[in-house]
Structure 1
Amino acid sequence: MPFTASDIIKIIFAIILPPLGVFLERGCNADFLINIVLTILGYIPGIIHALYIIFKF
């Protein structure tokens, strides 16, 4: 599956502010809440989870 311009923007947002990248990809659901908790606990786990969500869906 090729990347689109919106995917690249989501990846940039996921690196700068991980919950925003997840919100743009999946909306306000459990993935978004998990990412908020991971970002609060540590910035790197939040980034990893956000990138996983973006690449998976």
Structure 2
Amino acid sequence: MYGPAFTTQAIFLYVLALFIPPVPVYIKKGLSWDVGLNVVLWFCGWIPGVAHAWYTIARNY
């Protein structure tokens, strides 16, 4: 599996992703193509941006 997805840090990132999805992606991945993809998804709609941010947070432990 991916590891502990519900640590205090992860919960904070999940909540932050509800408001500004690219920020938690940047925190987890640094300045990478994932941040650019998240910005594009966020501009296409709020839900795709949040879903990608949550996926990135859960995947990167």
TM-score w.r.t. the length of structure 1 is 0.90
What is the root-mean-square deviation of aligned Cα atoms in Å?
1.0
Q: C-alpha offsets along residues 1-57 of structure 1, whole Å, 9 cap, x if unaligned?
A: 332211111111111110011111111101011000000111110001000101111
CA distance in 1: counterparts of 2:59 and 2:44, whole angstroms: 23
CA distance in 2: counterparts of 1:19 and 1:27, whole angstroms: 10
The structure that is helix-richer by fraction is 1
Structure 1 residues without counterparts, runs of 5 or longer: none
RCO (CA 8 Å, sep 6+): is it higher in 1 or 2? 2
Matched, 1:25 2:24: no
TM-score w.r.t. the length of structure 2 is 0.84
Structure 2 residues without counterparts, runs of 5 or longer: none
Count the aligned residue pairs: 57
